[in-house]
Chain A
Amino acid sequence: MNPNDSELRVGSTGPVPAATPGLGERLPRLLLAYWPLGPLVRRVARTRASVHSKLLGAFLLIALLLIAMGAMSLRSIATVAHQSRLLDQARERVDATRQIEHALGLQMNFMRNALLLRDDATIESMFRENNRFQKTFDHLEATAPPEQRETIRRLRTAQDNVMATVARIAGLIREDKADEAMDLHLSEGYPLYREIATLVTRAVRAEEAGMGQLREGVQATYRRALLLTGGFAVASIFLALGLGFVISWSFILPVREAEGFLGQVAKGDFSASIDVPNRDEFGALARQMNQMSRELHQLYDDQRRAALQLRALNAELEDASRAKSNFLASMSHELRTPMNAILGFTEMIRDGLYGEVPPDIQEPVSDIHTCGKQLLGLINNVLDLSKIEAGHMELAPTEYVVEDVVNTVKLSLRALAAGKGLELVTTVAPDLPLCLGDGKRITQCLMNLAGNALKFTAEGRVEIRVEQEGEHLRFAVADTGIGIPADQCEYIFEEFRQADATVTRDFGGTGLGLAITKKLVELHGGRIRVESEPGKGSTFFFTIPVRVTQEAPA
């Protein structure tokens, strides 16, 4: 591990604290610090269930509580309804009992009237009240609670006795025995009436007492229902709040943890790891993030190592490149210095500096000079190609006149053409503008192509044409030579290639001229191509921008 790495590790692995926590942040932190919420949150987090299940569970719990509350309320309502019904029945009975008392009073009244008036109509009305009692009693007996049945039965018995007595009194009145009737009324009728009145009072009191109890029962039920409902409501609210808090924080805490963790990873601290108690999706996420961090760390280390290696390699390459460059420069000098002497001495001999050259020596001296020039050309080609390959070939753009370039080539090759009996023709389009480019290199290109053309042509002519095509100059070198087979055309611009190995034997040359020409043309941002027909001749075309504006593309 690089010692620099440790400097990167700042802070703990915990979550990054917020800059200024507000109340919304402080309150939950405070709650989480105390029992039971803190442990509960951890317990929920540790629960091996999916987030979906946890949320569903919480909602179900609250829903169950609400259902229970509803059931309790319904039960209370049913109880109250039942008690109200009982209360109504008791009230009806009280009414009925009072009716009986009232009817009895009315009957007594009619009886007194009958005793005084002694007419049949009054007596009849006395009996009519009797029928009404019967119905009321039936109703009373049907609804009375068991403890009241005895009283009612006694009432009925008393009433039956009253009816018998009333009948006897009525009979006595009809027989005109008023005194006896009065006696009977006083001795039996009245006491019976008193007894009934007492029974009625007792029954009414009993019913009223029962009603009082019922009313208290209703009140109690109502109070209980109120308490239960309130209690359930409060419990539901607290449960909902509590569950909401616990569940949401069991999710928020790992998310916060992850946020802090990712922040550290983003800062390049791969030593951090995320630790959450969750056994749900958040737990799985945390595991994945740790895995990711480890892999990133590995990648980061690998990449650093690779970068360091690359840097070292780059330095080595630069050294190598510099060495190559230096080698090229010194080779160039070392090879040219003896060439300078060879060519210099030969030229001075030819020029007669050492006296008249004997005729039989003239030719060998001339041959030495020619071969020396050829050797120099080969050395130049090899060095040029090496420079291009090493990326050290730089163009020196200056303004040049195309006509001068073509004339230079023509002058240089005129002797060669004449020697082979070939016609060397040049056609330069009139009104070509002043061009910008490396005139010497363009001359070299044209010289290579024209030199080749002369070399591979036995009879006929070699023509150099230059014309303008938009922003480009188009150079063409046409010959009537041996031509190039179609399948060889694409290879001839590669280094050390000539169309045929025998070509080298027959015509000489290193096969570097075309490769160098192609590279120089491309260095200028131009293109080169060839059209050829074996046996008829070849035409090489290359284009060069009229003005080479920038460092030519590689």
Chain B
Amino acid sequence: MKTILYVEDNEFNRKIVRQLLSRTSYRLIEATDGEAGVTTALESRPDLIIMDIQLPKLSGLEATRQLRTAPETADTPIIVITSFALAGDEQKARQAGAAAYLAKPYSPRELLGMIRELAPEA
């Protein structure tokens, strides 16, 4: 069973992913800010991380950078969710070490496709 970490401060958006994954074999763990996201990732060693770009305490980009340099999570694929949609957002996400990039508002269907691609269900 694959574990997915979703770092997002908005309860409704967490709920979407929670319900989206409820019918799948993925196990979801959640964190509500950047610092908690990094700590949880290092402790739980998930198979995939979904990281919102704008988070309290520590930005999603910075958290991604930290996770990339930590040996425990260096190879864990990370999907960065942005909402800025400014020129260069995708580039910034890739530079920070994201495996994929998805702009808010995303389609749950699309997100699920991306998850299955990066961490296929066992």
CB pair A395–B87 under 8 Å, yes or no, is: yes
Residues of B within 8 A of A340 (CB): 10, 13, 16, 83, 104-106
Residues of B within 8 A of A345 (CB): 12, 16
CB pair B108–A347 under 8 Å, yes or no, is: yes
**Total inter-chain residue pairs, C-beta < 8 Å:** 73
Residues of B within 8 A of A392 (CB): 86
CB pair B88–A394 under 8 Å, yes or no, is: yes
Residues of B within 8 A of A338 (CB): 10, 12
Provide the B1-16 mask, 1 if CB < 8 A to any CB of A, else 0. 0000000001011011
Residues of B within 8 A of A329 (CB): 84, 86
Q: Which of A351, A395, A438 has the most CB of B within 10 A?
A: A351
CB pair A376–B105 under 8 Å, yes or no, is: yes
For chain B, residues 1 to 57, give those with C-beta under 8 angstroms from any C-beta of chain A: 10, 12-13, 15-16, 19-20, 23, 53-54
Residues of A within 8 A of B84 (CB): 329, 332-333
A353 near B: Cβ within 8 Å? yes
Interface size on B, residues (CB 8 A): 23
CB pair A341–B108 under 8 Å, yes or no, is: no
**Cα of A387 to Cα of B108 in the assembled complex, Å:** 28
CB pair A353–B86 under 8 Å, yes or no, is: no
Residues of A within 8 A of B107 (CB): 343-344, 347
**Cα of A348 to Cα of B106 in the assembled complex, Å:** 12
**Cα of A344 to Cα of B107 in the assembled complex, Å:** 6
A339 near B: Cβ within 8 Å? yes
CB pair A341–B83 under 8 Å, yes or no, is: no
Provide the A267-308 mask, 1 if CB < 8 A to any CB of B, else 0. 000000000000000000000000000000000000000000
Residues of B within 8 A of A332 (CB): 83-86
Q: Which of A337, A348, A354 has the most CB of B within 10 A?
A: A337
Q: A392-B86, A394-B87 are in contact. Are A336 and B20 (CB under 8 A)?
A: no
The contact size tier of chain A is 20 to 34
For chain B, residues 60 to 82, give those with C-beta under 8 angstroms from any C-beta of chain A: none
**Cα of A340 to Cα of B106 in the assembled complex, Å:** 6
**Cα of A342 to Cα of B108 in the assembled complex, Å:** 11
Q: Which single residue of chain B is at the shortest CB-CB distance from A350?
A: B109
**Cα of A329 to Cα of B87 in the assembled complex, Å:** 12
CB pair A336–B105 under 8 Å, yes or no, is: yes
Tell me, rounded to whole Å, the shortest Cβ–Cβ distance linking B93 to chain A. 13
CB pair B23–A344 under 8 Å, yes or no, is: no
**Cα of A368 to Cα of B87 in the assembled complex, Å:** 29
CB pair B23–A353 under 8 Å, yes or no, is: yes
Residues of A within 8 A of B83 (CB): 332-333, 336-337, 340
**Cα of A396 to Cα of B92 in the assembled complex, Å:** 12
CB pair B20–A348 under 8 Å, yes or no, is: yes
Q: Which single residue of chain A is at the shortest CB-CB distance from B89?
A: A396
CB pair A353–B19 under 8 Å, yes or no, is: yes
CB pair A337–B104 under 8 Å, yes or no, is: yes
For chain A, residues 144 to 165, give those with C-beta under 8 angstroms from any C-beta of chain B: none
**Cα of A387 to Cα of B15 in the assembled complex, Å:** 31
**Cα of A351 to Cα of B109 in the assembled complex, Å:** 9
Residues of A within 8 A of B10 (CB): 337-338, 340-341
For chain A, residues 356 to 411, give those with C-beta under 8 angstroms from any C-beta of chain B: 376, 380, 387, 392-396
Provide the A300-342 mask, 1 if CB < 8 A to any CB of B, else 0. 0000000000000000000000000000011011001111111
Residues of B within 8 A of A341 (CB): 10, 12-13, 15-16
Q: Which single residue of chain B is at the shortest CB-CB distance from A339?
A: B105
Residues of B within 8 A of A336 (CB): 83, 104-105
Residues of B within 8 A of A347 (CB): 107-109
Tell me, rounded to whole Å, the shortest Cβ–Cβ distance linking A441 to chain B. 9
Tell me, rounded to whole Å, the shortest Cβ–Cβ distance linking B43 to chain A. 27
For chain A, residues 161 to 195, give those with C-beta under 8 angstroms from any C-beta of chain B: none
**Cα of A547 to Cα of B74 in the assembled complex, Å:** 38
Tell me, rounded to whole Å, the shortest Cβ–Cβ distance linking B67 to chain A. 21
User: Per a CB cutoff under 8 Å, which of A348, A395, A396 touches B19?
Assistant: A348
Q: Which single residue of chain B is at the shortest CB-CB distance from A387?
A: B86
CB pair A393–B105 under 8 Å, yes or no, is: no
Residues of A within 8 A of B104 (CB): 333, 336-337, 339-340
A333-B84, A340-B10, A354-B19 given; 13 more Cβ-contact pairs under 8 Å: A329-B86, A333-B53, A337-B83, A340-B83, A340-B104, A340-B106, A341-B10, A342-B105, A343-B105, A347-B109, A353-B108, A392-B86, A394-B88
Chain B contacts to A: CB under 8 angstroms: 10, 12-13, 15-16, 19-20, 23, 53-54, 83-88, 91, 104-109
Chain A contacts to B: CB under 8 angstroms: 329-330, 332-333, 336-345, 347-348, 351, 353-354, 376, 380, 387, 392-396, 438
Q: What 3 A-B pairs come out closest when comparing CB atoms? A: A341-B12, A340-B105, A336-B83
